[in-house]
């Protein structure tokens, strides 16, 4: 069965700092990868996803993620964070041809100070 590791559980940044959140997965085959975000008081929503093609994917609000197959990684980046980026971020993997059930990481809590 697949698994997802998010190494940073809590991240605190000042506005305008750069962000990189790590995500590694364990699965040997073809995968679909997702980042979801949960803003305070809101439901989980998709930030971006990768399923084929260009390994550098861009999402909403200036976020991007790079799929590096050799490292089994799908790290999330943003060059300059804003206070409004304060949220919980979840990485998820759903193997192609698998059980159709996405597996989520533990999440990373990001706090951005103004």
Partner 1 sequence: GAGVSQSPSNKVTEKGKDVELRCDPISGHTALYWYRQSLGQGLEFLIYFQGNSAPDKSGLPSDRFSAERTGGSVSTLTIQRTQQEDSAVYLCASSLAGTTNEKLFFGSGTQLSVL
Q: DSSP letters of 40-52?
A: TTS--EEEEEESS
Asked whether the beta carbons of 81 and 74 are under 8 A apart, the reply is no
Q: Is 103 in the site for partner 1 (CB under 8 A)?
A: yes
**Contacts with partner 1, 64-93, as mask; x by CB under 8 A:** --------------------------x-x-
CB of 27: closest distance to partner 1 in angstroms? 11
Q: Is 46 in the site for partner 1 (CB under 8 A)?
A: yes
CA dist., res. 72 & res. 33, Å (int)? 11
Q: Is 34 in the site for partner 1 (CB under 8 A)?
A: yes
């Amino acid at each position: 069965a697949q698994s997802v590791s998010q190494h940073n559980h809590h991240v605190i940044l000042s506005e305008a700092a750069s962000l990189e959140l790590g995500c590694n997965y364990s699965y040997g085959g073809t995968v679909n990868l997702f980042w979801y975000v949960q803003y305070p008081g809101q439901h989980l929503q998709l930030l971006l996803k990768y399923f084929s093609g260009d390994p550098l994917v861009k999402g909403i609000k200036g976020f991007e993620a790079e799929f590096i197959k050799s490292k089994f990684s799908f790290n999330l980046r943003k060059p300059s964070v804003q206070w409004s980026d304060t949220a919980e971020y979840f990485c998820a993997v759903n193997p192609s041809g698998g059980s159709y059930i996405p597996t989520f990481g533990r999440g990373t809590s990001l706090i951005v100070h103004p």
